[in-house]
Structure 1
């Protein structure tokens, strides 16, 4: 009797998901690596039936060199690191994670909005410098504080995350606008022309995918449309924003502030101009809007459910 050959599953960047995974229902072989360099991908996937990757690229060349590969389970929502055309041509199933961060990401974006509109960093610095202690009155004024209530939030992205962000904003008394797609010929019902939506924003928050159409979505021209006391929030993808243009806008007072959880290159091992300066109206966090324990567990559980479904011959969260 021939011995059953169990499907081989390889997780390329296990350290990107620092919590316990559910056990898979089907019998299998499991191999995981803390991290994987681009040069190591082919060797590690050579015999794999299923690859799990959060951010490790899987290119057409890798796919061609890995004849056993049948599924790629992306441990994230974004899948721009996977060559989908090559996967489709080979009949490789690609699945991603969906709608798992409906609490965590909007909460993080809200935190950045509040901190910037209410000048948290500026006033913290004033207290540390002893300015409140020397005030002639009971309080100390230095930077203008703006309430979220009564202000306008423009959202780019009307999917599950955008809708969750809208619900939080409305609960705080904000007016919510959904921006139509840039350069759209017609404005859909429930949306506002892209340029008008930017010009009306007190807060602009990005909740859209990164692709060829959204690369540098917010650049010099778009920032020039915004109010000079408006703030930009990006918890989506770094490539949506022209970082050079953003830095200039902050330095010359063209923009009130920016809160970023993402940069174009992550991690920024070779530096980043936005990290080289210290501004009271710029907050950068290290891509952790999704990293609340509840939110991460939602992602991890869905990842295993996607693989279980594939091994059972079912389709779940299929990209291609």
Structure 2
């Protein structure tokens, strides 16, 4: 088990370096925003474009892969949402933002590098397949639920809701990178070598820059708010999501490479975008931010356990 911990430790150390650098004023606060903007709007879309454009679509898109991962994500979403509403008596809008924490794991910034470190670079193919629909599914579900809740409380019309959901999703640079890559893959277009080499240079910088920036972003958060609610989110994200994914993957005989990727991705802490979602609607920001921070710290140890079981 020690070997597994050592294999994934570099991923968390890069996050830690970013945290320490920002906390000790060695890396300016405003530079974190610039670094994350570069990673999320340019380098990671380039990485996703290249992954999607070269993916073997027929072999990789296994229905059981989506069912296992997103089945677990949906259960985690409902558990967080209903727990926040029924156990902790939060308003519906707060509860949906808290539910979004259980839905959107940090699969891209943590799940991909952890899978690569634990199982090798070739093992990440199924990770990118999961990511290919992640924003569409998670933002589609989260935004739709939030818009219904807001219309219910304000008495507004739901007629404009589909357009608001689509507009919010397709402004996302990650979705654009994935969509463009799939179009190139399906069309069979051969891109010029100088262009793909430039994209590969960007892609190689994506995960190190994003992990370092993630550490800096986490430095801005403080563990505040209702600790019981935060513990509930962390439990759903780090235990329930991967457990349900494991059970569905086993029941559907998901092939081993996809099974490992699905469980590893499901075992990641809530992503930073969960805070951006809460901030967009101005609800449950302290609780969500604290869950991201605490969940990321705890996930070093829970990920170690899940990878030991997978090995």
TM-score for both structures, normalised by structure 1: 0.25
Q: Which has the larger radius of gyration?
A: 1
Q: As a proportion of its length, which structure holds more strand?
A: 1
Q: As a proportion of its length, which structure holds more helix?
A: 2
Instruction: Point out which structure has higher relative CO (alpha carbons under 8 A, 6+ apart).
Output: 2
